[in-house]
Structure 1
Amino acid sequence: MRYTIYLLTGLTLLAISIYNWKQAFAFIARSERAIGVVTSLHKDDDSYWPVFSIRTKEGDEIIYQHPYGSSPASWRVGEEATFLYDPQAPESPRMVGYFTLFNWAIVFMGLAIPLIVSAIGYFILAPLTRIPAENNTWKANRKF
């Protein structure tokens, strides 16, 4: 029963991962590329969070605070980074990077694969590990 739950959970996470992967590719296909410049470093709880000013192709400015902070600061004011933004919804840009674009797809895939492999391995090997009743002399020799 436990391995059936592993298999169902793994397949569900795999489906969610594929869905997130497709969403990320759709975002990349419809997005525009822009350069963002670090305008300031927001300090909070001894970590520095870069704040970017991104200029769109239409000339609009998007202010973006990076979701990851570090101590010491990993960004300096004036540094540049490449962003993708949806022209229909420019208020939610994403920094160009493998994990920033495919984050949940990677996480769910990383959880799904071991669950699926262990469940399938169990279902393949479980019949081979069972001892037939006629060869089980331990039960026949027990005396209570």
Structure 2
Amino acid sequence: MELDKILAVSGKPGLYELMAKTRGGFIIKSLENDKKMPINLQNNVSILSEIAIYTYTEEIPLKEVFLKINEKEEGKEAISHKSAITELKSYFSEVLPEYDEDRVYPSDIKKVIQWYNLLQTRDLLDFSEESEAEEKEATETE
């Protein structure tokens, strides 16, 4: 599943799949318990494909961060988002060494790791497009 169908809703824990658009909002389904619910347009909704992480030079799309975590963990789950803040920061700096520590808060790191683990356990992360693009790029440079 693409990240443009996965939503984070302000004030609600976890991630949601966009099921349908309605006149006054959306119908979403929780990825944790498959419960469907309506939300209105007044809720602050973020589409995961539009989220990026600040680095000192640019903003890295969330999908690229997930790819880096996936490569580090060899396709398995990351550390728990409930780990100590110092542990989370050191883990995130291993994954993304150039992240801007002043603008990426510990709560952001927790969310990214929690989201990655949730998507990984649900087998919703598909990096085949990225790996194909990398292979094509590698053959072109040779």
TM interval, short-chain normalised = under 0.3
- Of structures 1 and 2, the one scoring higher in RCO (CA 8 A, sep 6+) is 1
Q: Which structure: greater strand fraction?
A: 1
TM-score if structure 2 supplies the norm length?
Answer: 0.22
TM-score of the two chains, using structure 1 as the length reference: 0.22
